Amino acid sequence: MKKIVKNAILVDKDINKVGEIKIEDGKIVEIGENLSFDDSYEIIDAKGKTVMPAFVDLHVHFRDPGFTYKEDLKTGSLSALRGGYTTVNTMANTKPICSDLKTYNDIMKRAKELDLVDINQIVAVTENFDGKNLVDYSKFENAKFLSDDGKGVLSETTMYRAILEAKKYDKIIMIHAESELSPIDYRIAEDLMTLRDVYLAKRLDGRIHLCHVSTIDSLEAVRRGKKEGVKVTCEVTPHHIALWDNSYRVNPPIREKSDVEALIDGIVDGTVDAIATDHAPHTAEDKANGSPGLVGLETAFAICNTKLVKERNIDIRTLSKVMSYGGANLMGIKKGLLKEGYFADLVIVDTDKKIVVDSSKFASKAKNTPFDKMELYGEVLMTIKAGEIKYKGEF
């Protein structure tokens, strides 16, 4: 498998230049201009468009097993590819909940057989999200992340024990900052839980990752923790940097404009490590009945390119950093950079193309999005995984 990507603008967190990429055996072997190659190489003509490392999503819900009427591994993977993603991390709130090795192995086996994107299954912090009894983390050698996503670990004692146990096995706990206060005041709930867990991570020297940070004070708690040497990272979602004062039901809720400004400042100054979609498919009926969440994989690049690069003149290299490098770096995988020796997971995008979001054309089973019919800039033209073209749009 030999390919060469020509006529490209190469962008990652460190570079923005015209160049070519030579690919052999699924990896990048050379980057430069006017690279030499023979007839054994397949040419991928980028036609002057931007080539970036494929995107990495730390936080998606593929609803498989248990809720496959909303999404499954295949449709979720196809949705990811259309959005420029080749690596995703699926949350554990499936049915059964992924807190046992049988469920974990089943998901990972089926994902590998699909051979579409790299799916990394997240394991629950506590047995069946009971908030008390820790999963035996030693059994999940290849699982990097732990999360009771959708519920949050309410007990301080449980979280204390979980951080210590995760530290023993070099795993990262992903924090869903909710508490008993959430139904009363989502903002205070998120802020208090963030403060609690950053403090615990500091005292216990553990590793935590804050999911979908959405408030000024929560972001500031992460920023302060980082300055103090706490092993804390965080993500924000495309919808939390694009919308404010909006009643569309997501969890955490859409915040105020001042929160949006703070989150974007956090992306620029490096407090925010990654953008994650929190892709949460629902049927129209479930959504009408109040289920929180939106599908985000197929609109993420256009939203972030529009809101950060086009509207605020933020360097596109920063966009690559939070959409590709940040997640890959946290996972410890050789993706997220255009660099020799890294996997040839690439996305070709037209950063200037004006699009109108059409949810009826999503590859996802679900169509729940507040961005339907919205005009944005940026289109994914091709997604390449390990040198193999997995998605090709009108290009």
Q: Which residues are catalytic?
A: 278
For helices 216-227 and 186-204, what crossing angle results, to 10°?
10
H-run or E-run covering 108:
helix 101-114
Across the beta sheet with 118-121, the strand order is 55-60, 85-90, 118-121
Distance CA 358, CA 316 (A): 25
Query: Please, what is the end-to-end C-alpha distance for the chain in angstroms?
Result: 22
- Length of the chain in residues, anyone? 395
Q: Hey, is 301 helix, strand or coil?
A: helix
Beta strands in the chain (DSSP E): 2-11, 16-24, 27-32, 42-45, 50-53, 55-60, 85-90, 118-121, 145-146, 172-175, 207-210, 231-236, 274-275, 346-356, 375-385, 388-392
Structure-token pair, residue 157: 């004692």
At residue 351, what are phi and psi to the nearest 5 degrees? -75, -20
What burial class does residue 160 get, using C-beta atoms within 10 Å of its C-beta: 0-12 exposed, 13-18 middle, 19+ buried?
middle
Q: Which residues contact 177 (CB under 8 A, 6 or more apart)?
A: 152, 189, 190, 191, 193, 194, 197, 210, 211, 213, 218, 252
